[in-house]
Structure 1
Amino acid sequence: MAPILTNSSEVNASERSDNEENGTVHVKNPHLASMPEDVLYHFDLGTKTHNLQAMFGDVKFVCVGGSANRMRGFAEFMYTELGLTGDGSDIRDICAGTDRYSMYKTGPVLSINHGMGVPSISIMLHELIKLLHHAKCRDVTIIRLGTSGGIGLDPGTVVITGTAVNSFLQPQFDQVVLGKVITRSTELDKDLAQELLNCGREIGSYLTIIGNTMCTHDFYEGQGRLDGALCSFSNEEKLDYLKKAYRAGVRNIEMESTVFAAMCHRCDLKAAIVCVTLLNRFDGDQITSPHEVLLEYQRRPQKIVSMFIKKQLGLLK
């Protein structure tokens, strides 16, 4: 059965015009409007139990990343960067009633962890996009901060995703819906990527580039690693695959980019992905850098995104 291709042409002209005019976050589900209550189960939030507009209506930037600890650290970092007053006691886990995700709010910045892999980030994004919609947020920018394996890059290089591709090097995300394959575009905002690149260059203490990002559904075999519990290919076959990806413009590999790009694009959210590389996959498969070095690497995307946010808020020229 041939896949069903869906993209921005699905959205009628009047709907797209309304979105662009008022900047609100629109869900693409006609059933939500008739529901008496929307329970955001994995966030432990809901439209009847919480005043979502009062809690989140001022959100302008949403930053997501895999690790709960890392996203709490980013929230604390942004608290200082934005010069917020107080002792930081208001940096609390809004989703403390669940152990699925953690969420922190610092001024107009929402920080959320999404776990590892396409299914985990997909669940989070469904509820996040609905949350932004219910809260009547406007002109929201969403950025994924992450770590990745580099291809042909030194560890510590920051890659801003130009195009998210799947394991077949195709710029699309395939979702099975009711036994049919729905194919969605993984287009990201090019202007946003360039603004983030400029911030990285302005920092200047490490290399920042724009490159394609390959999303896989597995950390080991799916990424051509030789060190998993299962392996059915040779080192030569692995290198051939990575070289093919490199020739196609891929500069890093992770496990969330295609669904992130597809869902944000489908819901008209301005989105970007900023990942640091922890190793060069041409040189090996295992991450061996010392813990303190890896921590410094992980702060690099945060510094770029912080500079971008401060520029958008007029806190930096």
Structure 2
Amino acid sequence: MPLNGADAAIGKDPAENGNHASHQPNGKVYDVNYEEESHNDINAVRYPDGSVRLRNPNIELMDQDILYHLALGSGSHDLVEMFGDVKFVCLGGTPKRMEQFAYNIMAEIGYKLPCGTTLQDISHFSYRYSMYKVGPVLSISHGMGIPSVGILLHEVIKLMYHAKVQDPVFFRIGTCGGIGNEGGTVVISEEVVDGALRNVLELTVLGKTLQRPAKLDRRLARELKALADPEDPYDTVTGKTMCTYDFYEGQGRLDGAFCDFTEADKMEYLEKIHKSGVMNIEMESLAFAALTHHAGIKAAVICVTILDRLKSDQVLAPREVLDEWQQRPTKLVSKYIKRYLQMKGRLSLDGHGSIAVKSPRRFKLVQQESETYD
């Protein structure tokens, strides 16, 4: 699909990153990169206008699709009216951090709320994730760990489909442990690997092991790196990110409730992954990269280190220092978004996109379902 204007400036059509599954003799299921297949397979992840096509034919057959963990539904809400203008989806760990990001991006792009209104948490009734909309930007908390971000991404990708969003760009903004990088260093992920240095998300589906490639858009990573200010009093680097399923044993920490290895064992492992190019460790990027790649969505991971794991297991920086460090990835993403909107002539936006109820009865039912769904 040809691109024009600012879309071309931020990289190729994300649909070119699609993939699908094939079965191998060993019984495992592997995803295959669409670049190895016919270009026509792009149709599996994009409609002709660039809007997201789901890789699930069941959704089209449903009377309504309830996004339980977002307190939204295709039958209860006018999702096109509410979210059809979205271009950027920014995910981060905590509701408070993403609320602050929403206010920051509002000031950065000159977005103005309608008179007498305030920024609202669209997913308040879910009690699980928080979602704020600032013009073409969604700011959403994803919780902690692969399961939490995986659940969220399934529903956010479906939201993009129902809202007919065209060529969205996803960012994960967060904190991490550095490997050979001092606290406060911004790391832009070029590649994501698991604890065994494999760049796949391994899932068990219907009793079969599926390995889904965890790939990020490298061009997007380069563009973010180019926006880093050389005058910043901290480094902005690119490299591999390791994603683990656990904060303690999975990351080689000695201070968990359980530990069956020594300090020497830990250091040997950390030095090994450091030599392989791993710059940082966190707990969400593997699922984030795998699911966005499978959906054909351009995505990037930008984190700030809060310690160097080659020196310590525990975070010792004062709270005010950590608060400033956490602003560094958001500043870079905000700069990218502002640059894009400037090129499109879309700064100084009027406020719109508030809750649009299509069916009051279904709206109430969705709230009740979201409140009680486990």
**1:104, distance to aligned residue in structure 2 (A):** 0.1
Going from structure 1 to structure 2, the CA distance change for 1:54 and 1:203 (only over 3 Å counts) comes to farther
Per the alignment, residue 227 of structure 2 pairs with 199
Q: Does 1:296 align with 2:321?
A: no
Counterparts of residues 49-88 of structure 1 (less than 5 Å): 49-86=76-113
Tell which deviates more after alignment, 10-19 or 290-299.
Answer: 10-19
Going from structure 1 to structure 2, the CA distance change for 1:11 and 1:107 (only over 3 Å counts) comes to farther
Larger radius of gyration: 2
**1:17, distance to aligned residue in structure 2 (A):** 4.7
Secondary structure, aligned partner of 2:201: strand
Secondary structure, aligned partner of 2:100: helix
Going from structure 1 to structure 2, the CA distance change for 1:223 and 1:68 (only over 3 Å counts) comes to same
Per the alignment, residue 311 of structure 1 pairs with 339
1: CA distance, partners of 2:103 / 2:329: 15
Letter of the 2:40 counterpart = S
Gapped regions of structure 1 (runs ≥ 5): none
Per the alignment, residue 29 of structure 1 pairs with 56
Deviation by residue 1:254-290 (Cα, 9 ceiling, x = unmatched): 0011110000000000000000000000001000100
Per the alignment, residue 3 of structure 1 pairs with 28
CA contact (8 A) 2:189 2:300 kept: yes
CA contact (8 A) 1:7 1:266 kept: no
Secondary structure, aligned partner of 2:182: coil
CA contact (8 A) 2:178 2:307 kept: yes
Letter of the 1:263 counterpart = L
TM-score (norm 1): 0.96
Counterparts of residues 102-121 of structure 1 (less than 5 Å): 102-121=130-149
Going from structure 1 to structure 2, the CA distance change for 1:128 and 1:11 (only over 3 Å counts) comes to farther
Gapped regions of structure 2 (runs ≥ 5): 1-25, 346-374
TM-score (norm 2): 0.81
Q: Identity, % of aligned pairs?
A: 47
CA contact (8 A) 1:310 1:316 kept: no
**1:14, distance to aligned residue in structure 2 (A):** 2.7
Letter of the 1:41 counterpart = Y
Going from structure 1 to structure 2, the CA distance change for 1:20 and 1:235 (only over 3 Å counts) comes to farther
Deviation by residue 1:106-158 (Cα, 9 ceiling, x = unmatched): 01000000000000000000000000110000121000000000000010000
Per the alignment, residue 181 of structure 2 pairs with 153
2: CA distance, partners of 1:232 / 1:164: 26
Deviation by residue 1:58-99 (Cα, 9 ceiling, x = unmatched): 000000001110000000101111112247943110001111
- Cα root mean square deviation, aligned: 1.9
Tell which deviates more after alignment, 241-250 or 193-202.
Answer: 193-202
Per the alignment, residue 362 of structure 2 pairs with none
Per the alignment, residue 16 of structure 2 pairs with none
Secondary structure, aligned partner of 1:63: strand
CA contact (8 A) 2:190 2:216 kept: yes
2: CA distance, partners of 1:158 / 1:210: 8
